[in-house]
Structure 1
Amino acid sequence: MLPNFSPRYSPKRRQQNPPVWYSNLVILKKGEGVSVEDLTIAVVGATGAVGAEFLRIVEQRYAKPPRLRLMASKRSAGKRIAVGSEELVVEEATKDSFEGVDVAFISATSAVSRDLAPHAVAAGAVVIDDGSAFRMEANVPLVVPEVNGEDVEWHEGIISIPNCSTTPLVMAAHPLRELAPIRRVIADTYQSVSGAGASLVADLREQSARLVDADHSATASEPGQIAYNLIPQIDRFMDTGYTYEEQKMRQESQKILHDPELHISATCVRVPVYVSHSAAVHLEFERPVSVGEAREALASMPGLTVLDDPANNAYPMPWDVSGEDDVFVGRIRQDLSNPNGLALWIVSDNLRKGAALNSLQIAEELVKRDRLKPRAATTRV
């Protein structure tokens, strides 16, 4: 039975007055059963958007933060960042920076990851890498803990997290494929500017103010204009006509779902939204799957929230999902062009579940499976 959503209800108000239909939501109390706080964690890229979100989640998620060592480029070394009651100094990330580190979270360019990760592993750390450097390497697990957490068991020192548009797709596909095998996925993504870094965020702010009164009928768009515009290209084009971002979605989803034959076609679009990625997704199954079956399966998936009552204008939107840990799914409906098809709408915060949160959850998965223990003394004051 469809829950009775209020059109005025926002996910951000749920902790103040959570409605009964949020039965699948588990709000982790600080420090509840979590031993990640006993680890020493290096955060490479601590001054970037994902690094900042990582530190914010650490403050929110744990009663006491793990031992943190903040690292960045030489240019950012010496900066001070407040984390909880502490003020930490950013150090330059070098090949010799990882002695005594249990986990190295790297959110940087592929070149930085390839340069530093082997040295972190040699120093005894487990590397959780946010970039694309290692994702498709055969000996590197690509992990979304709710989907394939068991893959952390075979890591050889490096674990990758997927692209921030791949994660919500596999989070939704995973419970649905347990109803019936999926033959084909078509995904059109609408990706926020924060996924491209601080420069595009700044461009959106500047262009939005400057072009607000521009005559669209008489003026061509500027090169790279994102304000009041859509850009149907993310990353470079390939010989196939697809972009590298679109190829990543296909290959990464196949690897995470352990289904190399799964047919996936993606079109990735940059949109003038600051935070949260959205996707319109069509799935074709080997047999018909009802909307009711799909809704029930999605609602039972950890880390996923169904917000689906179009009659009351209740569906996920980027503004509301920004700052949320869950992947949100709505607009669940039968594909009228295909009796074996379903269509749905997915929104998630690309900086949280798409990057920083997923990394912390991998560390938690390693601890839970007894694959990661702090090397330093666990006594804290």
Structure 2
Amino acid sequence: MTPARSSGPVLAVVGATGAVGSVLLQLLSVRADVWGGIRLIASPRSAGRLLAVRGEEAEVLALTEDAFDGMGRGDVAVFLTPADVSARWAPAATARGAAVVDQSAAFREDPRVPLVVPEVNAEDARERPRGIVAGPDCVTAAMAAALGALHAEYGLRDLTVSSYQAASASGRAGTEALRRQMSLVAGTSLGGMTGDVRRAVGEDTGPFAGPLALNVVPWCGDLAAGGWSTHELAIRAQTRRILRLPALPVAVTCVQVPVLTGHSLSLRARFDGAVDAGRAREVLQAAPGVVVVDDPAAGEFPTPVDAAGTDPAWAGRLRASLDDPCSLEFFVCADNLLHGSALNAVQTAELIAAEFA
């Protein structure tokens, strides 16, 4: 059965059996219950599975036109699916009057679809000409709240980002590939040479551009013009949209690292005027969705191990640039499945539900 109340909007979770879907269902068990019913939807091969939702079991429905029957105005369908699946099936939900919150790349560049991080631009979710609200990728989501707060205080002028991305950004295929590679490497007597790791892993690189075990791979996405990757350009475009800075200079380097969960980012942000690191720390401490962990003398700074399993983005290593009084250097970590996707989707869905309360 599907857990339900006597009244309230319906929440459909499309992609409920995936890595992010599992995290989202856990979130629903600890957040305020604003939903009159929760409907779980996944690919036909997952149909019939029973998943726990708020202490009850719910049967997974196959993703078909019928899966959205009975939904209408005030209801929300959250899509945690690949872009091609979202592009194909989101219109089936909106055709019935339901709003869609999509976490894939399918609609992020569509000017008729707002790109929303609730801590930064929640008001944009109210204007949805296509009935769809898009969420950013998990790297952009990790830094958006911190950048939004600093931009409101100082006026962001340009941004340089290096991301250190966890294997789980590629879903279960990514985490399984990293675990498999680590097992292969652990069973090999390594002589300390790069070639030893490559020989141990062989061709089993999984979804990554190279072996990830005991390695870093400076590539995420596909090749774009000028040597940039499509993922790097996407982060640039999304940051500009969310902050409403269409001409903001943004340089991004994406690096895949052998971490299971939790993205890390090193940022250099340049502002319109001089920045005081102490005041910037206060700004971030007051920012929703951000926790400041910044005492290097005591060994306290953000790491993905600490951020994994927590809601906020963790910010630290705040320091004024040595060669530019208008620049601030800092480090951010966030759980890419939770903060970077599931939480953003749930918060956005709750914003929409509140419009009809």
Aligned-partner Cα distance in 2 for 1:290–1:72: 49
From 178, 197, 202, the equivalent of 2:152 is 178
Task: Indicate yes or no: 2:196 matched with 1:219.
Answer: yes
Aligned-partner Cα distance in 2 for 1:81–1:214: 42
Deviation at 1:183, TM superposition (A): 1.4
Which residue in the other structure is 1:294 paired with?
280
Aligned-partner Cα distance in 2 for 1:178–1:130: 25
Which residue in the other structure is 1:145 paired with?
118
Is contact 1:280-1:344 (8 Å) kept?
yes
Structure 2 residue identity aligned to 1:257: L
Task: Indicate yes or no: 2:256 matched with 1:256.
Answer: no
What is the TM-score with the length of structure 1 in the denominator? 0.85
Aligned-partner Cα distance in 2 for 1:125–1:87: 24
- Deviation sequence 1:318-376 (CA, Å, 0-9, x none): 111111111110000011132211100001111112111111111222234x2x45xxx
- Deviation sequence 1:104-159 (CA, Å, 0-9, x none): 11111111111111110011110000100001101000000110001012112100
Structure 2 residue identity aligned to 1:265: A
SS in 1 for 2:301: coil
Which residue in the other structure is 2:353 paired with?
367
Specify every segment of 5 or more residues in structure 1 that has no aligned partner in the other structure, as ranges: 1-34, 374-381
SS in 2 for 1:113: helix
The structure richer in helix per residue is 2
Deviation at 1:245, TM superposition (A): 0.9
Aligned-partner Cα distance in 2 for 1:287–1:65: 45
Deviation at 1:168, TM superposition (A): 2.0
Deviation at 1:197, TM superposition (A): 1.1
Deviation at 1:100, TM superposition (A): 2.4
Structure 1 residue identity aligned to 2:185: L
Aligned-partner Cα distance in 2 for 1:109–1:168: 20
For 1:63-78, list aligned pairs within 5 A.
Answer: 66-78=36-48
Which residue in the other structure is 1:199 paired with?
173
Aligned-partner Cα distance in 2 for 1:78–1:49: 18
Is contact 2:102-2:133 (8 Å) kept?
yes
Aligned-partner Cα distance in 1 for 2:33–2:272: 46
Structure 2 residue identity aligned to 1:144: V
Which residue in the other structure is 1:379 paired with?
none
Is contact 2:11-2:35 (8 Å) kept?
no
CA change 1:59–1:186 in 2 (3 A) is: same
Aligned-partner Cα distance in 2 for 1:64–1:172: 28
- Deviation sequence 1:216-265 (CA, Å, 0-9, x none): 41526244311111111111110121111111110001001111011111
Is contact 2:76-2:352 (8 Å) kept?
no
For 1:269-284, list aligned pairs within 5 A.
Answer: 269-284=255-270
Which residue in the other structure is 1:333 paired with?
319
Q: CA RMSD in A?
A: 1.6
SS in 2 for 1:204: helix
Which residue in the other structure is 1:132 paired with?
105
Is contact 1:254-1:262 (8 Å) kept?
yes
What is the TM-score with the length of structure 2 in the denominator? 0.90
Which residue in the other structure is 2:208 paired with?
none
Q: Percent identity among equivalent residues?
A: 37
Is contact 1:128-1:158 (8 Å) kept?
yes
Specify every segment of 5 or more residues in structure 2 that has no aligned partner in the other structure, as ranges: 206-210
Aligned-partner Cα distance in 2 for 1:276–1:246: 18
Aligned-partner Cα distance in 1 for 2:270–2:90: 39
